[in-house]
Chain A
Amino acid sequence: MIPLLRRRPTAGQPRRLTLSILRCNPADPASVPHLQDYELDEADGMTLFIALNDIRAHQDGSLQFDFVCRAGICGSCAMLINGRPGLACRTLTRDLGDHITLAPLPYFELIGDLSVNTGKWMRGTSERLQTWIHSTTPVDLDALEARMEPAEAEAIYELDRCIECGCCIAGCGTAQMREGFVGAVGLNKIARFRLDPRDQRSDADFYELIGDDDGVFGCMSLLGCHDLCPKQLPLQTQIAFLRRKMAALGLR
């Protein structure tokens, strides 16, 4: 379920917002991480995308952050919003207090200020977990496509909706302690390909990929991932299900 908006009355003077942004530039050896405050007037319907671009256009052109779609679908703009991982583009300032603290996602390599290198980590994880359809059946482009039950296609899409934003990793207790942990994003991908009849890998093959403490057995079930996932993916049940399947295989 999508959480309910916490609406505030919007009558009267616009609020004066203070954004405290954690700044650091790894390209500059002298740069020390520090919070820098920016003030601006709130506008109707203001998102953190609008607020940050306003600051960059009018106050500080050197501020680094990442947005692409600005519509909540591409996963570029995950950051710590008052300490909690979330997508900045679709976070409305009216749901936050007058003082907003923004910091880059932890765990990922810092590019600068609020920008982190999730892309590099996600590509590495994809390579490690081989997140593509494994099939030896040749594709005849001229022939009718293979049939699939409509409900099965919808079930695959449910897990295919991950946008690799990194919120689940940023909110993961295991990832903080175990650098090689594939996280909910990785486990969800395995669950997705495992569900897909076009992928010819067996559970034994998947066990090779996630049957250890960097995989499904590393998860401590704190489930910050499940609470934080901006796409409301069913991470809790998928991880539990995978663990049961993999444990059964491991005990065999």
Chain B
Amino acid sequence: METIHTDVLVIGGGLAGLRAGLAARKRGQQVIILSLVPPKRSHSAAAQGGMQASLGNAARGGGDNEDVHFEDTVRGSDWGNDQEVARMFVHTAPKAVRELAAWGVPWNRVQQGPHAVVMDGQRVTLTESAAAHGLITARDFGGTKKWRTCYVSDGTGHAMLYAVSDQTIAAGIPVHERMEAVALIHDGGRCYGAIVRNLIDGRLLAYVARATCIATGGFGRIYQSTTNAVINEGIGAAIALETGVVPLGNMEAVQFHPTAIFPAGILVTEGCRGDGGLLRDVDGHRFMPDYEPEKKELASRDVVSRRMEAHIRSGKGVASRYGPHLWLDITLLGAAHIEHKLREVKEICHYFLGIDPARQWIPVRPAQHYSMGGIRTDAHGQAYGLRGLFACGEAACWDLHGFNRLGGNSVAETVVAGMIVGEAIADFCASPDGDMQVSTALVRETWAKASAEFSAIADNRSSEDANQLLRRMQTLMSEQVGIVRQGDQLAAAVAELEQLIQRCRQVGLRTTRAGANPELTTAWRLQRMLKLAQCVAYGALQRTESRGAHFREDYPRRNDAEWLKRTLATWPDGEPTRPRLDYEALDVARMELPPGWRGYGARDAIEHPATALRQAEIEAIRASLGNADRHAVQQALMPYRHLLPPHLRGLNARIGEER
């Protein structure tokens, strides 16, 4: 057994992991980053449309600030998120964009003077101010009051990932590529690193670390139809679940993106609609204004996806051999706009559909897109249950997004959380908490247990086929634990997943191959993915309300009175086929923005008894402060700045708003 020692082990080489590693390295910690693939190939690169940050430079972003971004994010989450975390996030996002600008991200810039845009199907002229010329511009995205999404054409994630990855190279941080963490080394109270499988030669190594950070992204691949990359199998969250003591938060909160090309499931950015694209049905009718007269195509993703599915079910879908779909029409944006601002969309349409989106409509249907749930952490990214274990990015339930995240908030979360959690990791390592005494017996035993798991599969010649079980799980999740959920179907899904979990323990291989056999890799991962799927399905079954992306046909109202709480799923050793669910209440009395109507979607929530009280309290605080500036009011309502690292606490400059 080869053992590698480091201060900080970051599992995952996407934007969140790289940025967290960089923060810890800059504080003098020794950092090693593990990545399934070369880091620049991470799924972060697939973020097309942009990153939200309230710079307020663009004409339609005028008047934007942290307060507006905060409210949009909380409404988007359907009041399921952690409002302190949302505050930390919206405050840090402008700093993150500016840091990335200094690192070379070629953000699109404001061009002063008039320019034509498409809004609500009409061509209109906007005039950009001379004062903003050359500053970072923004486009419109769903669920936002202002144009706030900073972008680099439609390759934003790519440009960000390359800039941050290049910074880690400049900082000399080693990235051990083609490495998969397969078990956490822990004693039930503290984490000491991970057992890691080399995906080239198949060997298992031990990485012993004072702090371990999981940043492995989402788990979209438990669904059949997903925009996620093939590496988004949720193994980081799964190995945390395997500890039996680390809970996964809100696993039932799964986002479906309205515009995945049909049937391939490849994403076309929300920027298509933000820039003026329309959704049309079989008759060519623009149907979203019928359902959402205010936000139309730019309501939040959960609402648009649900309206689309409902419209298809009303018989207005376009029939095809793969099933019904709808149309995304961006022809009205014009060829020049598409060539400059939506070029990845153009390429995707060309290569995968054989169409020119400047002239033809794009067939789309919602597909799984984002995992709001993940490893439950506190505001500093410290995981619940194990000291020395941190998580950030999509793998975590930090809980910025609650039950629905806004477009442009996740790629922003990766770098913002990386900046904040990376500092917390450095603080941890620099404090006595970061000291550790690890037993070599514990490391050896964890290694031996992982090794035995692989051998058990590799040596099994039973006819139970991992690929078949995998496909069944994916179909089941898409059909029964999808956009529209229903108690009977969820119960059936939970029961079938229990069977699949039993069966997957018997999986055997049909091939042998020296090194890392892909068939073995698939079979091993399947066992973990099924447990994640069960956390999603069981959590969805138990949550008898509708909130954000979790929509129960049999419980269509948001129920704050009973369900203003976060699901925590743990999988103790004794539980064969289901997780244990606990709930963590969200405290209305501490909210800056108590629950209300989102401004789109249904308006029929069952109120929490504390909401009216808190609302009155907030009004009293506001009244007592009179003309105090917005920062002072905010501070009085819900202090959060103490949660940030000191160097991230400063106020953000904007044109027209002096510091």
Contacts and interface: CB of A to CB of B under 8 A. Distances in A.
B72 to A, nearest CB: 22
A129 to B, nearest CB: 10
A69 B45 contact: yes
A141 B321 contact: no
B202 interface: yes
Contacts of B166: 126, 131-133
A122 B109 contact: no
A141 B653 CA distance: 9
A61 B202 contact: no
Interface stretch (B91-99, B382-390, B429-437): B91-99
Contact of B169 (A112, A127, A149, A150): A127
Contacts of A71: 46, 266-267, 348, 352
Contacts of B46: 69, 71, 73-74
Interface string A75-86: 110000000000
Contacts of A117: 178, 200
Interface of B: 37-43, 45-46, 55, 95, 97-99, 101-104, 106-111, 133-137, 152-153, 155, 158-159, 162-163, 166-167, 169-170, 175, 177-178, 200-202, 229-231, 263-264, 266-267, 321, 340, 344, 347-348, 350-352, 354, 467, 471, 509-519, 522, 647-648, 650-655, 659
B511 A62 contact: yes
Contacts of B652: 142
A223 B556 CA distance: 60
Contacts of A249: none
* A contact patch SS: loop
A74 B229 contact: yes
Given A119-B37, A144-B98, 12 more contacts: A25-B514, A62-B512, A62-B518, A73-B344, A74-B42, A119-B38, A133-B103, A142-B659, A144-B135, A145-B136, A164-B40, A198-B101
Contacts of A222: none
Q: Which A-B residue pairs are the 6 nearest by beta carbons?
A: A119-B38, A61-B519, A27-B515, A147-B134, A62-B511, A28-B514
Contact of B200 (A62, A72, A111, A133): A111
A98 interface: no
Interface of A: 2, 5, 7, 25-28, 31, 44-45, 47, 56-58, 60-64, 66-76, 90, 92, 111-112, 117-120, 122-123, 126-127, 130-133, 135, 137, 139, 141-150, 153-154, 156-157, 160-161, 163-164, 193, 196, 198-199
Given A68-B229, A132-B169, A154-B340, A119 B41 contact: yes
Given A70-B230, A74-B45, A122-B38, A141 B648 contact: yes
Contacts of B99: 139, 141
Contacts of A27: 200-202, 513-516
B266 A150 contact: no
A153 B107 contact: yes
9 contacts: A27-B202, A57-B471, A67-B230, A73-B158, A92-B354, A112-B515, A139-B98, A139-B102, A163-B45
A66 B153 CA distance: 27
Contact of A28 (B104, B158, B513): B513
Nearest to A138: B102
A61 B651 contact: no
Contact of A143 (B98, B231, B519): B98
Contacts of B321: 44
A25 B97 contact: no
Nearest to A139: B102
A67 B651 CA distance: 43
A96 to B, nearest CB: 14
B104 A132 contact: yes
B102 A68 contact: no
Contacts of A44: 321
A99 to B, nearest CB: 22
Contacts of A74: 40-42, 45-46, 229
